Amino acid sequence: MAKKTILTGDRPTGKLHIGHYVGSLKNRVELQNSGDYDTYIMIADQQALTDNARDPEKIRHSLIQVALDYLAVGIDPAKSTILVQSQIPALNELTMHYLNIVTVSRISRNPTVKTEIKQKKFGESVPAGFFIYPVSQAADITAFKADTVPVGDDQEPMLEQTREIVRSFNSIYDKDILVEPEGYFPTKGQGRIPGLDGNAKMSKSLNNAIYLSDDADTVSKKVMSMYTDPEHIKVSDPGHVEGNTVFTYLDIFDPDKDQVAKLKEQYQAGGLGDVKIKRYLNEVLEETLKPIRERRSQYEQDIDYVYQILKEGSEKANIVANQTLKEVRDAIGINYFK
Ligand code: TRP
């Protein structure tokens, strides 16, 4: 069976946290190890710059943090190509060609772009580069002829828009060059992991995240500060497990489901204290986080080597993207000189 091709990526705007781990990174490592895919993982620095043009240092710094997080969770450069978006010039030209077959009103209707424009409070000053990022994302995906794009649920509109561009391009130029991608949503319906404070979203701006780079002491302090059940005051009080962040995390991270069921029962009956259950959660989290942290600190000692991995991944990616660009140029007929 021919291998399928995966392309996915992240905007480097900060270090990655355990929400990224359960929501996507863990799944990427499994897909990579399955051997069924050619896997490309893109650090989308150029997309990150679309709303950070005045703070390039943040993106530059985050790029290496994200690369370290990838390597720490087990993304293996021998199995996956890790590439840096800004180092693949063909993506820009593909974007320009696609912009000619997409309308302004179609991008305006993209629900994710709409939501983000509101959230980011651009007002009347939406950067044009930000506005068109769905088209640049279509270039990312199609440059590698990816058929499988593992992403969060919020990226579905990007996939839809990419498929439309692929269909338009292939039909206008009457060639079967570009490939329609399918989204792959590993956590569909599961909701995301809540923040430490019980907020539905874990994020840097809410200051409620556990980072893959946090040391053991920091993780333990964060766990001890977690939101539980405000009505559970005395140890003997019966407690609630729904909406109790500690139990939500145990459901996600503890492989011993019987043990979790037993603890829930005890907590609901009364007699199980928050400190005790948090200590237990901390041990469970460490099972996942300790090996990640150790691998991360090894790579941190050789940042030059990490840049080398990104350089080699980008070189490999350039070969593939340049080939697609050549086919696109030939199809349009802008290949004047032999
Ligand atoms: N927009 C994606 C995000 O915010 C990041 C991204 C950029 C991406 N290019 C991509 C994801 C291509 C999948 C495929 O998470």
**Calpha distance 131→113 (Å, rounded):** 7
> Which of 201, 221, 257, 262 is the catalytic position?
201
Q: What is the pLDDT of residue 338?
A: 79
326 is in an annotated binding site: no
Q: Are strands 80-84 and 37-43 parallel, antiparallel or unpaired?
A: parallel
Within 8 A by CB and 6+ apart from 125, the residues are none
CATH of domain 216-297: 1.10.240.10
Instruction: State the distance between the two ends of the chain, measured CA to CA, in whole angstroms.
Output: 37
- What is the position in ligand 1's atom list of the atom closest to the CA of 47? 7
Q: How far, in Å, from the CA of 158 to the mean position of ligand 1?
A: 9
**Cα 148 to Cα 33, 135, 163, 208, 216, distances in angstroms:** 15, 17, 12, 32, 36
Torsion sign (Cα): 67, 3, 94, 125: negative
3-state secondary structure at position 206? coil
238: region left, alpha or beta (phi > 0 left; psi from -120 to 50 alpha): beta
217 is in an annotated binding site: no
**Calpha distance 193→199 (Å, rounded):** 9
Q: Is 135 in the pocket of ligand 1 (CB under 6 A)?
A: no
Q: What is the pLDDT of residue 191?
A: 66
- Residue ranges of the domains in the chain? 4-192+303-332, 216-297
**Residue to probe by mutation, ligand 1, list 13, 47, 92, 142, most atoms within 8 Å of CB:** 47
- Does the annotation mark 120 as catalytic? yes
pLDDT tens by residue, the chain, 338 residues: 689 999 999 999 999 999 999 999 999 999 999 999 999 999 999 999 999 999 999 999 999 999 999 999 999 999 999 999 999 999 999 999 999 999 999 999 999 999 999 999 998 899 999 999 999 999 999 999 999 999 988 899 999 999 999 999 999 999 999 999 999 988 766 767 999 999 988 988 899 999 999 999 999 999 999 999 999 999 999 999 999 999 999 999 999 999 999 999 999 999 999 999 999 999 999 999 999 999 999 999 999 999 999 999 999 999 999 999 999 999 999 999 97
Q: Which of 82, 87, 56, 79 is nearest to 69 (CA)?
A: 82
Q: Is 11 in the pocket of ligand 1 (CB under 6 A)?
A: yes
Q: How far, in Å, from the CA of 256 to the mean position of ligand 1?
A: 34
Q: Which residues lie across from 215 on neighbouring strands? A: none
3-state secondary structure at position 163? helix
| Token representation of residue 300 | 């941190």
Q: What is the pLDDT of residue 153?
A: 86
Sheet bearing 80-84, strands edge to edge: 80-84, 37-43, 4-10, 148-150, 182-184
Determine if the pTM surpasses 0.85. yes
19 is in an annotated binding site: yes
Reported in sequence order, the residue ranges of 158-245 that DSSP labels E, i.e. its strands, are 182-184
- What is the position in ligand 1's atom list of the atom closest to the CA of 146? 14
Q: How far, in Å, from the CA of 11 to the mean position of ligand 1?
A: 7
> Which of 114, 120, 257, 311 is the catalytic position?
120
Q: Going by CA atoms, what residue is nearest to atom 6 of ligand 1?
A: 9
Q: Is 161 in the pocket of ligand 1 (CB under 6 A)?
A: no
Q: Which amino acid is at 259?
A: Q
CATH of 4-192+303-332, picked from 3.40.50.2300, 3.40.50.620, 1.10.3210.10, 3.40.50.1010, is 3.40.50.620
Is residue 109 a contact partner of residue 248, using CB atoms and an 8 Å limit? no
Is residue 179 a contact partner of residue 142, using CB atoms and an 8 Å limit? yes
Torsion sign (Cα): 67, 73, 74, 80: negative
> Which of 204, 257, 311, 326 is the catalytic position?
204
Measured from the Cβ of residue 215, the count of other Cβ atoms closer than 10 Å reads: 12
Within 8 A by CB and 6+ apart from 315, the residues are none
